[in-house]
């Protein structure tokens, strides 16, 4: 379902909008900076294989694209609010642009594999955000609504890129399919975590928080409390198991709960 939501950034008055916590805010802001360009990349990667897709999958790709377009639009607006709060985002955005520009020279199937891996990442984080109230505790209400809406749709379409990959590689030997899937996830994980970590550290630097304080605060948040990165580890490992599919874990109840 494409939920065309629009969020009012004028209701956000705090620079540290997430529980007045500079570390939590920096982490979420760093994630959001990557979304507009990243969502466009995901759409392009999946659409490259829609022409010969079965009708049901083709319909899912269309819905996927519609949802991602809306996510991109709302996170652009979110990022403008972050900029208005006094943060300089141009350099961080240019890093995202450079990484994605490198993908232009890769075969479409390689970009689909990367999209599949990163969509699993976003779905894992979405599950944590919707299932653990501590993740957004103390956030500005409009920001909470934005992130919960985004998380809902990430869970809803979490298998589209994966099913597109299965269709696109249907004639491949199973060993080749698994090998490329696994290697791509390892590379994508390293890049994703490293770049978003560096982004958070840079935003904290702009807050005057540097050195060990910045690193300790970010690492404590993502690994200890509330520990979103720690919580996704088992489901990240599941990606490498034979017979994996995103809907092996049915968390559709979270969609219903978030929509109530």
pLDDT band at 203 (very low <50, low <70, confident <90, very high): very high
Q: What integer is the mean pLDDT of 174-202?
A: 96
For the domain covering 17-259, report its CATH number. Answer: 1.10.620
Q: Domain-by-domain residue ranges, the chain?
A: 17-259
What's the average model confidence in pLDDT over 50-72?
Answer: 94
- Contacts of the segment 171-177: beta carbons below 8 A, 24+ positions apart: none
Q: How confident is the model at residue 5 (pLDDT cuts 50, 70, 90)?
A: confident
Q: Residue 69: is its pLDDT beyond 80?
A: yes
Give the count of beta carbons closer than 10 Å to the beta carbon of residue 201. 18
Reported as a single tens digit per residue, the pLDDT across 81-127 is 999 999 999 999 999 999 999 888 899 999 999 999 999 999 999 99
Is-contact 14 140, C-beta < 8 A? yes
pLDDT of residue 257: 79
Spatial separation of the C-alpha atoms in residues 122 and 52, rounded to whole Å: 26
Reported residue count of the chain is: 260
What would the mean pLDDT of 159-180 be, rounded to a whole number?
A: 96
260, pLDDT greater than 70: no
Reported pTM: 0.94
What's the DSSP call for residue 248? Answer: G
Give the number of other Cβ atoms within 10 Å of residue 10's Cβ.
8
Tens digits of residue pLDDT in 211-252: 999 999 999 999 999 999 999 999 999 999 989 999 999 998
Residues sharing a CB contact under 8 Å with residue 153, sequence separation 6 or more, in sequence order: 1, 3, 67, 71
Q: Give residue 11's pLDDT.
A: 58
């Amino acid at each position: 379902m494409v939920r065309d939501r629009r969020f009012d950034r004028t209701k956000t008055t705090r620079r540290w909008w997430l529980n007045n916590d500079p570390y939590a805010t920096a982490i979420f802001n760093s994630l959001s900076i990557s979304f507009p360009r990243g969502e466009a990349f995901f759409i392009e990667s999946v659409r490259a294989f829609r022409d010969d897709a079965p009708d049901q999958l083709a319909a899912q790709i269309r819905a996927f694209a519609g949802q991602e377009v809306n996510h991109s639009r709302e996170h652009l607006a979110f990022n403008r609010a972050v900029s208005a709060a006094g943060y300089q985002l141009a350099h961080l955005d240019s890093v995202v642009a450079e990484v994605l520009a490198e993908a232009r020279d890769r075969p479409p199937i390689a970009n689909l594999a990367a999209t599949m891996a990163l969509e699993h990442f976003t779905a894992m984080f979405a599950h944590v955000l919707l299932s653990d109230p501590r993740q957004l505790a103390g956030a500005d209400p409009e920001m909470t609504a934005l992130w919960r809406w985004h998380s809902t749709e990430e869970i809803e379409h979490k298998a589209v890129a994966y099913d597109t990959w299965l269709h696109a590689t249907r004639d491949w030997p199973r060993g080749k399919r698994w090998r490329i899937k696994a290697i791509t996830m390892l590379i994508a994980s390293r890049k994703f975590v490293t770049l978003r970590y560096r982004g958070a550290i840079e935003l904290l630097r702009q807050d005057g928080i540097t050195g060990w304080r910045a690193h300790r605060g970010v690492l404590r948040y993502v690994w200890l409390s509330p520990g979103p990165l720690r919580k996704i580890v088992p489901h990240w490992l599941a990606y490498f198991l034979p017979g994996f599919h995103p809907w092996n874990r049915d968390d559709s109840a979270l969609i219903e709960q978030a929509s109530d």
